[in-house]
Amino acid sequence: MKYQHFPPPAHLQEYIHAIWTLELPADSQSSCSLRTFAEGMPGLIFQQVDNGSLYQNDQPLHDLFLYGPATTHARLHATGDLHITGIFLRPNALKTVFGLNAGLLADTCMDASELAVREHHSLPEQLVNCRSSTDRIGLLASWIKVQADKNHERRDNMIQYAVSAIAGSKGNVALKGLQIELQLSERTFERKFKEYIGISPKLFSRICRFQSSLQQLRANDFSKLSDIAFDHEYADQSHFIRTFKEFAGFSPLQYQQQPGGLIENLSTLLK
């Protein structure tokens, strides 16, 4: 298994958080487990599936697909000779880049080939015929740039400001104060946020706080679990553990005990 991580092109940093590739050996019997946790970012994945595929709940995923923010944990597995190119998009990119209502893609995905065929009829075929991961990344980045330019009027500066404020505070900003600052009613704030981000401001805040605590746990930057709970303003250690299990599927201790060869969290590993 070979993993590589790439920064986004400078001119696309507004829309792309990170780019990654994953290759499995040319052995149709090989299998790799991938665990995803609750994640507030959408993404785009292309998988070359000559002799393998990426599965979720035993269902093969599309060759080229967009996915929305995940609000819970899931397990994926990949088999065969598989080359995956993935792009972590910014939280509002489904709307600002592709013109999609992000709320319709929360916890699910869509076949992006249909969208690509309408806008760039040869994209799926070109991706298959690329000679290298670098070529595939360049092709996908070019397509994203075209989509972003076409939909630039769909940007919402207020929602972008709200996302930055929530993420910057690690999920601990006062949402009522943010709503008042933006001069939006509670209903309008929540409606617009779901349309652009896919989930409610409260849930996005909880996931940001969980993801920040997960990063601290991964970095082993604590003496005891209560330190993480305190740093992220959880009520107590028990509250932190309950939330972690909700979004990760197991406790912080169980997470630490996972075997080193398992890719236990695709999103945080590949950031």
Q: Which domains does the chain have, with CATH numbers?
A: 2-153 (2.60.120), 157-256 (1.10.10.60)
Residue with tokens 């690329």: 130
Among 136, 193, 130, 129, smallest CA distance to 165 is for 193
Q: Average model confidence (pLDDT) for the chain?
A: 88
d(C-alpha 40, C-alpha 199), whole Å: 8
- Of all residues in the chain, what percent are helix, strand and coil, respectively (each to 5)? 45, 20, 35
Residue 14 in this model has a pLDDT that exceeds 70: yes
At 231, list the tokens.
């740093």
User: In this predicted model, which residue has the larger pLDDT, 271 or 245?
Assistant: 245
- Contact in structure between 134 and 142 (CB atoms under 8 Å): no
Tens of pLDDT along 191-222? 999 999 999 999 999 999 999 999 999 999 99
Residue 115 in this model has a pLDDT that exceeds 50: yes
Residue 264 in this model has a pLDDT that exceeds 70: no
pTM for the model: 0.90
Sheet holding 16-23, edge to edge: 2-6, 16-23, 83-89, 43-48, 64-67, 109-111
User: In this predicted model, which residue has the larger pLDDT, 117 or 34?
Assistant: 34
169: left (phi over 0), alpha (psi -120 to 50) or beta: alpha
Among 47, 44, 1, 7, smallest CA distance to 23 is for 1
**C-alpha R_g of the chain:** 19
